[in-house]
Structure 1
Amino acid sequence: MKGVLEGIRVLDLSFALNGPIAGRILAELGAEVIKIEPPWGSARDFAPIVNGESINFIFINANKKFITLNLKTKEGVEIFKKLVRVSDVVLTNYRPGVLDKLGIGYEDLKKIKSDIIFVSSSGFGYNNPYSSLPAYDYIIQAMVGMYGVTGLEDLPIKTGPAILDVISGTFAALATLAAIHYKSLTGKGQFVDIAMFDVGLYAMIENIAGVMFEGKGSRFDKRLGNRHPVTAPYALYKTKDGYVFIATASDEQFHKLCKAMKMEHLINDKRFLTNDDRVKHVEELDAIINEWTSSKSSKEAVNILREYDIAVAEIKQPSDVIKEPLVTIRNMLVDVTHPKLGNIKILGSPLKLSETPGIVKEPGYPIGYHNIEIYKKLLNMSEKEIEELKLKGII
């Protein structure tokens, strides 16, 4: 099955997680994504390392083709410009201004190819006092207030995964799709400026809405542990062998929970009649639920509550999740073949479309794996020319 983006060529200059995730999404949808790295590699040392290969890199850069090119050399820059002439999109997560200094910023590239789509996914975006600052996921989380609402009352705690890198990469891919569609309508390319800061603020939409109208120190402006600011019960509860998360968002759901626990009397308890009452008396309510869950194993609690159509889940480790039947049912672990590691499984695509689904067919390959294929096919170089460039440190 052909991908919906077949025929679209993306030059991926990104590294680490934010930019590469955007490239992977486009590749899942069928774009030819050519990852360009310096001859010494880029973010290939992220653990775990197996047989000299970063598994992190292999997962994040699935479906791409891999070439090397030294953009710190004049000849490398000229080769890159030739690649731009036969491509549709340039993707980068370098700080604003870095590529401009090399002569390959958006203004430079649109002189070479007027309809190029230039996608930047940086920490703070272009043309502001923060543009040149270094940025990582957890730095942005701190700046947009995520630490202010995540963790315990006296202890800010970061999220486990680098969620803003992944979300920013997803927004960059979404913006790229919009730019590709616009180009199909008008023939015009454009500059896409995605900032992790903006995306982080967007992710905080409920809290920002809350503090805009309830103010500083309100329930939307503080860390509540595992509780929710506007509904209860909606929290983590101890079991005999771990924890479960139980979420109710209406009176009807709370009534079902009471019936599941054989505590129907709580339905008419004045402390818990409405959601506002339950939020006000959340300490007492959580103590009651916690006593019930503590007498059950996690699986037992989940099975009982799901019989009553209550949203509940056992708290699992990543090592447990990969054994979850739904992972197989949803095709979220797929078999691929790596030239050094052989047959391995990597994460599949969450893009489930009836006609044009996202497909993961290949892992991230070793550095420069497609040099000969790409330089021959796109720039008509001979193998001798390619070898000479390699000896000169250009590729």
Structure 2
Amino acid sequence: MADVVIVGGGQAASSAVARLRAKGFDGSITLIGDEPVPPYQRPPLSKTYLLGDMALDRLFLRPEAFYRDNAVTLKLGEPVTAIDTQARTVTAGGDTVPYGDLILCTGSAPRRLPAKIGGDLDGVHVVRTLADVDAMAPRFTKGARVLVVGGGYIGLEAAAVAAKLGLEVTLVEAADRILSRVASPETATWFRALHESHGVTIREGTRLARLTGDGHVSGALLSDGRTLDVDFVVVGVGIAPCTALAEAAGLRVENGIAVDAQGRTSDPHVWAAGDCASFPGTDGAMRLESVGNAIDMGELVADNLMGEARDYRAAPWFWSDQYDVKLQIAGLNTGYDRVVVREGAGRSHWYYAGDRLLAIDAMNDSRAYMVGKRLIEAGKSPDPDAVADPDTDLKALLKA
């Protein structure tokens, strides 16, 4: 079988490697990553790893012995600088590596604050890689003053860790509420109250005007005129797909590396999976930033390299850990016009468009999450009044 080269060091890359060997692929596999470590989990970085509750070796998706035992060549700490689709080669670390098929799992990169407002000062951090978190972790000391910029899940998770460790935390969100792009006002209100109960100051509808400091950040000026003294800053203002390599190689890019339903790019010998890939959805091209999507797409591409001709059917799921709360999300809430609140063992918010169930947010309610996820995947939409009734047996909704 033709040689396969995989570019990337995350969940999609690791999943593709494992699936290829599990399916009996006997060609050579080379995995090239720009970080000096084998593929690892990213979600724990802003949670248990930053808290110090997860050791480094537990971050790795598979031990290095797995790659050795499965005859996978690792080229780590060597970013790919060019792809030649005509010659079918990639350039990395000064070497030219040939491929029969290429899988791009380049992931995404955090958006950073502009240098003109102090984004290049020392002490201004983003949360994406192991190196990012290792650089900021020593600053998480009791009593330190941290400004978190951005009220999405990354920002809220960083704020939760900081609050648990006894830091003085202020979070600013430019939109009128936290989680404005990803969750309902009901979910945002619930999490705002959770954070405020742990001493976090949240300022919504407030932009960061600029950071100040002589080399190292020491202050912040907000759009409402307030000034803050800060010891460091954590920036969580979103991510963007890493598409530069694909663009330079002449591949089609549309909010990500455009692929067909089987994960193939505009070049028949180049595939893409994970955060970087934009694939056909029910309402047009879509891109998902989640572990589940990375696993599923990595395995999909591997299957299709083995000739299965399988189309992708996304079943989105996500999670976030904040304090002692596990938020579990299933589905996509795009287009919802009603949120049904259910109180039970925990709390859950069910998103409807008319009578159609779209998504669920479950806070410390794994049963509601599992039932909601199965309903969404089956295309079933229970009566909203039944969902809201705490006396309704959730499992019975699956049989209706």
Report the TM range for the smaller structure's normalisation.
under 0.3
Task: For CA contacts below 8 A with separation 6 or more, give which structure has more relative contact order.
Answer: 1
Query: Greater share of strand residues, 1 or 2?
Result: 2
Larger helix share, 1 or 2: 1
TM-score by length of 2: 0.26
Pick the structure with greater CA Rg. 1
